[in-house]
């Protein structure tokens, strides 16, 4: 089957493309198929560093884990990291190449990247039995079709069959399926093989008449109805599209081992990046993780996390405007735990010199850690390994800011003063022994009778979740039909649905 492929498109952003792609990858690898994920262009603030030092979307790293392969830059050749509503940093083959406005990118730069993106896909198809591609947004964004390099543009060039995913939990899924198809050109429509319903609740027999009518209207079948699955905890692609205030990260259903739970409050700073860092905390029995944006929400927290951000100076201003900066200072004075990660670590320092990211010059930090940060043009992309609290720690670094640590106790690449901790290392809390040791320190400082579970393995929990995705595909999708698509392409003679692209 060498070189087979499929594009998983969606009627909307957040329709479930990422998890469906991961589920198909996990199902295929369990069938003995050598498979890889691919997303030509990704817009996300949640990213990951591969072993060769390339930055890619974290969703593609998760999909690679689902496929049981090592993630590489080939799997996400273009990553856009928003810096505002109108501009993004462009990361090409894992390295930043500049900052562009949306108009500048879609006005010409995107089309220039088409050949490199297509070459990456063809390289993967030469290396794997199958490549499962993920689209972005909707393939029916008719204003962007001319420069598209991630949806029908790549499908047409690579002759990939397309399955369109729709989120029925939001409502309107039949209109979305029909409208998506009807807004495509005849050439694009010829690759739309059918549909996949996601997040269905209830009796599927009640849905079947609608699926039959959809088939009659479009001539295309539905390949499966995936039920709503609670507590998947799989990496999310983007933190910009939803408000995270009050969102509680889902955790395993298990009681705490000790007498108390630990409450973790995560400051929902602007341009928050890699908020998946706290997933490992949420995986611990008895740890409740909540995103907050008001100072009163820090009062009963046992640990406050200031997470990574693509805009450290903007996050600092936000913390001050909201009164959170004063609340963090009070916590530090009272010896109550605070953890800063990457941009959050930088914000906790004394001073920031930024002529790169915000171009704001010298800005005072919160002064809770003896650290001075200078932003450099070169981005640090690394996969460090070290030791803290007597435990081995692995992490990854993605930052322009270079920290000069002037005091405190050593803590990974950063420092600790009292109960305030700071590091550039993302992913450190996924190291089980270190996470348990850190939570014991937090519990002691907070005066909580919390006991970390001795056997919680974040890696094993992640594997279980990926297996659940594979199970969803195996049990609720027509896998024989999906496999035929991957091997043979879209069926011949699919009917045109008017009016087509304008």
Q: Active-site residues: which are they?
A: 342, 426
3-state DSSP of 7-22: EEEECCCCCCHHHHHH
3-state DSSP of 109-167: HHHHCHHHHHHHHHHHHHHCCEEEEECCCCCCCCCCHHHCCCCHHHHHHHCCCEEEEEE
Q: Burial of 85 by CB count in 10 Å (0-12 exposed, 13-18 middle, 19+ buried)?
A: exposed
Contact 401, 341 (CB under 8 A): no
Q: Is the previous residue joined to 156 through a cis bond, with omega within 30 degrees of 0?
A: no
Contact 315, 274 (CB under 8 A): no
Q: What is the DSSP letter of 477?
A: B
Residue 100 CA to residue 88 CA, distance in Å, equals 6
In the chain, how long is the greatest CA-to-CA distance? 71
Q: End-to-end CA distance of the chain: give it in Å, rounded.
A: 37
Number of alpha carbons in the 13 Å side-chain half-sphere of residue 339:
27
Residue 107 CA to residue 77 CA, distance in Å, equals 19
Residue 21 CA to residue 36 CA, distance in Å, equals 10
Q: What is the DSSP letter of 168?
A: G
Contact 192, 493 (CB under 8 A): no
Residue 271 CA to residue 126 CA, distance in Å, equals 37
Q: Pull the structure tokens for residue 267.
A: 């400051």
Residue 488 CA to residue 175 CA, distance in Å, equals 28
Contact 273, 309 (CB under 8 A): yes
């Amino acid at each position: 089957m060498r070189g087979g492929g499929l594009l998983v498109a969606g009627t909307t952003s957040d329709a479930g493309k990422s998890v469906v792609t991961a589920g198909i990858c996990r199902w295929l690898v369990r069938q003995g198929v050598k498979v890889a994920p691919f997303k030509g262009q990704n817009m996300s603030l949640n990213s990951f560093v591969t072993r060769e030092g390339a930055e890619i979307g974290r969703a593609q790293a998760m999909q690679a884990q689902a496929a049981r392969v090592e993630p590489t830059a080939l799997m996400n050749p273009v990553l856009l990291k928003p810096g505002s509503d109108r501009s993004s940093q462009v990361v090409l083959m894992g390295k930043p190449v500049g900052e562009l406005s949306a108009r500048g990118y879609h006005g010409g730069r995107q089309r220039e990247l088409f050949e490199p993106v297509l070459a990456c896909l063809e390289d993967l198809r030469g290396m794997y039995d199958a490549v499962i591609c993920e689209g972005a947004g909707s393939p029916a964004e008719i204003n962007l079709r001319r420069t598209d390099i991630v949806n029908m543009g790549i499908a047409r060039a690579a002759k990939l069959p397309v399955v369109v995913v729709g989120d029925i939990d939001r409502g309107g899924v039949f209109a979305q399926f029909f409208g998506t198809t009807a807004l495509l050109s005849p050439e694009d429509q010829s690759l739309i093989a059918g549909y996949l319903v996601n997040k269905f609740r209830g009796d599927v027999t009640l849905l079947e008449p609608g699926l039959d009518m959809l088939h009659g209207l479009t001539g295309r079948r539905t390949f499966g109805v995936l039920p709503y699955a609670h507590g998947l905890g799989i990496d999310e692609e983007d933190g910009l599209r939803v408000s995270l205030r009050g969102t509680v990260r889902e955790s395993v259903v298990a009681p705490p081992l000790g007498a108390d739970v630990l409450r973790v409050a995560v400051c929902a700073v602007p341009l928050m990046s890699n908020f998946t860092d706290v997933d490992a905390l949420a995986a611990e029995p008895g740890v409740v993780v909540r995103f907050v944006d008001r100072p009163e929400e820090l009062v009963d927290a046992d640990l406050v996390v200031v997470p990574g951000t693509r805009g450290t100076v903007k996050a600092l201003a936000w913390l001050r405007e909201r009164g959170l900066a004063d609340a963090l200072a009070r916590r530090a004075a009272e010896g109550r735990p605070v953890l800063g990660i990457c941009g959050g670590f930088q914000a906790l320092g004394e001073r920031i010199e930024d002529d790169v990211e915000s171009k704001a010059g010298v800005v005072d930090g919160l002064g809770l850690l003896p650290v001075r940060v200078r932003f450099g043009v070169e981005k640090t992309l690394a996969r460090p390994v070290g030791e803290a609290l007597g435990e081995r720690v692995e992490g990854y670094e993605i930052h322009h800011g270079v920290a000069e640590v002037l005091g405190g106790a050593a803590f990974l690449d950063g420092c600790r003063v009292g109960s305030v901790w700071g590091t550039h290392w993302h992913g450190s809390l996924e190291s089980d022994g270190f996470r348990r040791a850190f939570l014991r320190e937090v519990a002691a400082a907070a005066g909580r009778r919390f006991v970390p579970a001795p056997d919680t393995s974040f890696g094993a929990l992640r594997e279980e979740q990926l297996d659940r995705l594979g199970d969803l595909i195996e049990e609720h999708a027509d896998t024989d039909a999906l496999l035929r698509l991957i091997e043979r392409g879209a069926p011949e003679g699919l009917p045109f649905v008017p009016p087509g692209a304008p």
